Structure 1
Amino acid sequence: MKTRLAKTVVLAGRILLENGAETHRVEDTMRRMCEAYGAQVTDSYVTPGMLMISFSYDGEMVHNMKRTGVKTTDLGKIDAVNTLSRNVSSLALEELYEQLQKVETSPGPSTGRYSVGAFVAAAGFAALFGSTGVEALAAGWIGGCCAFLLRTWGSRFSSAFQNMAGSAFMTACALVCPGLGLGAQPVLLGALMILVPGMLLTNAIRDIVNGDSISGTSRLAEAIVTAAAIALGNLAVLALRGGV
């Protein structure tokens, strides 16, 4: 029972952490799950690269630690784990573990849905930056195509390289816009916004404010590296074109 409980709460925490949840949410969810099944003296410790749980069960101390894997952003999985954590009183431990495994292995949004979401986001940001309707559609098309390419071909590369390649692709596409009578700047700005690590930066600030300085500075460094990769991809294309 106690070993299964440790594995279950670490699995729940890993799903949250790998899909974009902030450190405080992960630690609180792990602690509450332990207490719901009778654990005492519960301590949870989470960084972007590792999770650890320690609790007392029937007078015996139990510990479990797990490294995290590839990070992504999937609010659907976060919501699913949060729903399970709120209903632990009505779930047997084995049932909870099975449900968490299903959440972990669920495929998430399809490539088509992911690309459509990128299209809508890029077009919306372009409109926000003052583009015309046609320019917004162009930004959406570039963002959607980039998202499709990264989803289908980019998974074999590191996230930094994906952001650099995506930025270079978008810049190259935007440079064609003036020849079509469209402004390159609003189109490029709208498209690039889908690569900007906004959620990562927000979670970094929240972690720092909550006192989780290690997690906060680690996430902040990752956000800076992501932003640098986007800038390098953009500058590389401009340099090849002779604009830098």
Structure 2
Amino acid sequence: MNSYLRYIIDVSLGLLYPKRCVACDNVLLKIEKEAGFCQSCQKKIRLVGKDYCLKCGAPVNNPQAEFCTSCKNASHVYTQNKAVFRYSGDMKNAMYRFKYSNKRCYGKVFAKYAVKSYGKWLQQNNIEAIIPVPMYQKKERKRGYNQAEIFAKALSDVSGIPVNSKIVRRNGDTVAMKQLNSLKRKKNLLKAFSLAKNDVQFKKVLIVDDIYTTGTTMDEVAKILRSGGVQEVYGMCVCIGETQ
């Protein structure tokens, strides 16, 4: 396809399906399209920022604090997690559309901000593969996609780190995690994941997911990966709660 024809198609698609703000879903002005957020939402949407928990990546109010209150009393299996946005305000609506309303295009915006915030961190830790938290196959077929995998592929495109979504599988459907407390989350995910391949060739990997709540899901996936020989399991999620 020559460049002129590609341009015509892009313009036509832009007229039929104009780009919308990830947060408020309003149509973006030309000068706003690069950011992915309208000017109003750019002022309201909050990145995690420079003061965050050194374990789960949640924002902390005290700049001198190394860990959030949750991680002080927890022993996580994963090595370290990073989060891009705070799960508050219109980002809650954005994540709902990303998961349930086929807004796969959001993945590119999320990945761009992720690399902007943590690109050096990814390089320093020599991440060999990005592994999305798997969805139960029947559930994924019904929804049409796995939002964690959409984010993973977009992150791969901008970071150059390959995606491997075939290593870990989800063995069955589970109750929605938002309905459960910490203890019930762990029981809910007991034996929920397994290795699809016995010989994992990677030593350092990155698990990606959409929202980090307690870290139970990431810990369970990390546990499975470590059992297959992975030495360091890092994590990255699009959003994380503010009250950690």
TM-score (norm 2): 0.25
Larger relative contact order (Cα-Cα within 8 Å, sequence gap ≥ 6) = 2
TM-score by length of 1: 0.25
1 or 2, which has the higher strand percentage?
2
